[in-house]
Structure 1
Amino acid sequence: MRIALMATCLADVMAPDVARSTVELLERLGHEVVFDKRQTCCGQMHTNTGYFREAAPVVRQFVDVFEPQLEDVDAVVMPSGSCAGAVRDQHALVARRARDADLEERAGRVSAKTYELSELLVDVLKVTDVGAYFPHTVTYHPTCHSMRFLKVGPRPLRLLRAVEGITVVNLPESDTCCGFGGTFSVKNAETSNAMVTDKANNVVKSGADFVVAGDASCLMNIGGKLARQGQRPRPIHLAQILNSTKENPFVPSSTLLGRAS
């Protein structure tokens, strides 16, 4: 299968190993991954904050990059539930607000082939055991967009539980938000801090060595709070665990969500 990668702007800047791990995982499973360097942002932050007019050119850029690829690729993958949710649930809305019927139609074609990583693996590639090895205890945080927009449900947990050596433990109050929400954490800093404090405390209560999620943004928020508290659990993206093998194990480094060199 030929798959186009949307790396996401946050992964590009803050967590590049998430994008690399996605590519390496899919290639190890025998698929071709293509990457168009013209890609930028999905426009999620603009839309979530209510800036629909400002989001329109960002959505148009996204569609201009990915729609022409649909003739040559079988799917577009994003290692982010929030960004995939934006493409699937917000792009058509932004186009309608801009009264651009052509953009709405084109955005619909792109969204129909866009998947979050766990959706792609389980629903499209029909695989749950990807041959990963991760001999650590983890707890899973279901991010808001993946849970409520995409409804990925148990897909990430099915993938995690098939990993050799792993121990998956329950996260207390797992379905509560971590408080990031992009600009929400900036405009509502005190509320956001209270939410991420509760989330970090529950991660610690789980007894896990790692907290795993499908969104680098949430992991950045939770991991930052854990680090400031001096707590042991580390953030790790689902792609990084699934890409970890006995031959090439994931080794935590001092860099957030990064591999040791």
Structure 2
Amino acid sequence: MKVGLFVTCLVDMMRPAVGFSTIELLSQAGCEVVVPDNQTCCGQPGFNSGDRESGRTLAKRFIELFDHCDYVVAPSGSCTGMIRFHYQDLFPEDPALQERIHLLAQRTFELTDFLVNILKVDRVESGFKGSVTYHDSCSGLRELNIKEQPRKLLNSIETLTLKEMDQAELCCGFGGTFSVKLGDIATRMSDNKCHYAQQSGAEVIAGGDLGCLLNIEGRLRRRGDNTTQVKHIAEILTVKAK
């Protein structure tokens, strides 16, 4: 099974370790992982800001790079949602391309969803020790129905304690350009998310979208919390045993 890894912009630029952890998880599950080295953005920032032309350019590039793969996996619900549900909106008058997009969208998955529902992974060997609370990102939860998949994987780690926060499904306030356009509202939403996460008593806040995690971590530090760790779930699932 040839699986194309779509790294995503934030992982590539801000935390490439998430990409390497994703490759490790997929390889351990028996996949042949390919990573096109000239991949770029999925086009979501432009699409959300009304720049459909740049969105179309990037979408076409993505299709050309990944169309040959059996599956495409991204460590991000947000980017996956863009590909699966919004690419077709960019090409309303191109039936041939619409069909290619439709077929590719059916083969494109967020990481934990792919591991649990396609590869049927029900246990991971991770040396992580400690307590974790999980943040449900908006795109993953509301577009892709990702809720139980990451928790199933986390709960398979015997030395990990999952501590659910209140309002786990509450938006963290990032929303890409939302946090730029409506900064005061976004900050209040981030404060609420940090409050609930800290109340859980967990040592680590985990999630499946790096945009959310960077936003939460940034707000935690500005609130004076330099102790709580913030990690992508792929990083937790691949901790080496000591």
Asked whether the equivalents of residues 59 and 87 of structure 2 are also in contact (C-alpha less than 8 Å), the reply is yes
Q: Which amino acid letter does the alignment assign opposite residue 91 of structure 1?
A: Y
The equivalences for 1:38-187 within 5 A come to: 38-67=38-67, 69-70=68-69, 74-96=70-92, 99-187=93-181
Q: Which amino acid letter does the alignment assign opposite residue 76 of structure 2?
A: S
Count of residues paired in the alignment: 241
Q: Which amino acid letter does the alignment assign opposite residue 92 of structure 1?
A: Q
Deviation at 1:171, TM superposition (A): 1.0
Q: Which amino acid letter does the alignment assign opposite residue 30 of structure 1?
A: G
**Whole-Å separation in 2 of the counterparts to 1:49 and 1:129:** 40
Q: Which amino acid letter does the alignment assign opposite residue 233 of structure 1?
A: T
Aligned twin of 1:5? 5
Asked whether the equivalents of residues 200 and 225 of structure 1 are also in contact (C-alpha less than 8 Å), the reply is yes
Deviation at 1:164, TM superposition (A): 2.4
**Whole-Å separation in 2 of the counterparts to 1:28 and 1:47:** 35
Mean alpha-carbon deviation: is it higher for 21-30 or for 194-203? 21-30
Q: Which amino acid letter does the alignment assign opposite residue 128 of structure 1?
A: D
**1:105-160 deviations in whole A, cap 9, x for unaligned?**
22112111111001110111101202122111100001000000001121111111
Asked whether the equivalents of residues 72 and 108 of structure 2 are also in contact (C-alpha less than 8 Å), the reply is yes
**Whole-Å separation in 2 of the counterparts to 1:57 and 1:85:** 18
Deviation at 1:26, TM superposition (A): 1.8
Percent of pairs with identical residues: 39
Match of 1:235 among 220, 230, 235: 230
Deviation at 1:52, TM superposition (A): 2.4
Aligned twin of 1:28? 28
Unaligned runs of 5+ in 2: none
Q: Which amino acid letter does the alignment assign opposite residue 234 of structure 1?
A: Q
Q: Normalized against structure 1, the TM-score is what?
A: 0.89
Aligned twin of 1:192? 186
**Whole-Å separation in 2 of the counterparts to 1:90 and 1:3:** 22
Asked whether the equivalents of residues 10 and 217 of structure 1 are also in contact (C-alpha less than 8 Å), the reply is yes
Asked whether the equivalents of residues 29 and 119 of structure 2 are also in contact (C-alpha less than 8 Å), the reply is no
Asked whether the equivalents of residues 133 and 204 of structure 2 are also in contact (C-alpha less than 8 Å), the reply is yes
Q: Normalized against structure 2, the TM-score is what?
A: 0.95
Deviation at 1:65, TM superposition (A): 1.0
Aligned twin of 1:244? 239
Asked whether the equivalents of residues 29 and 130 of structure 1 are also in contact (C-alpha less than 8 Å), the reply is no
Unaligned runs of 5+ in 1: 248-261
Q: Which amino acid letter does the alignment assign opposite residue 79 of structure 2?
A: C
Asked whether the equivalents of residues 143 and 215 of structure 1 are also in contact (C-alpha less than 8 Å), the reply is yes
**1:70-118 deviations in whole A, cap 9, x for unaligned?**
3xxx31110000001111111111122xx22232222112111111001
Q: Secondary structure at the match of 1:129?
A: coil
Deviation at 1:59, TM superposition (A): 0.8
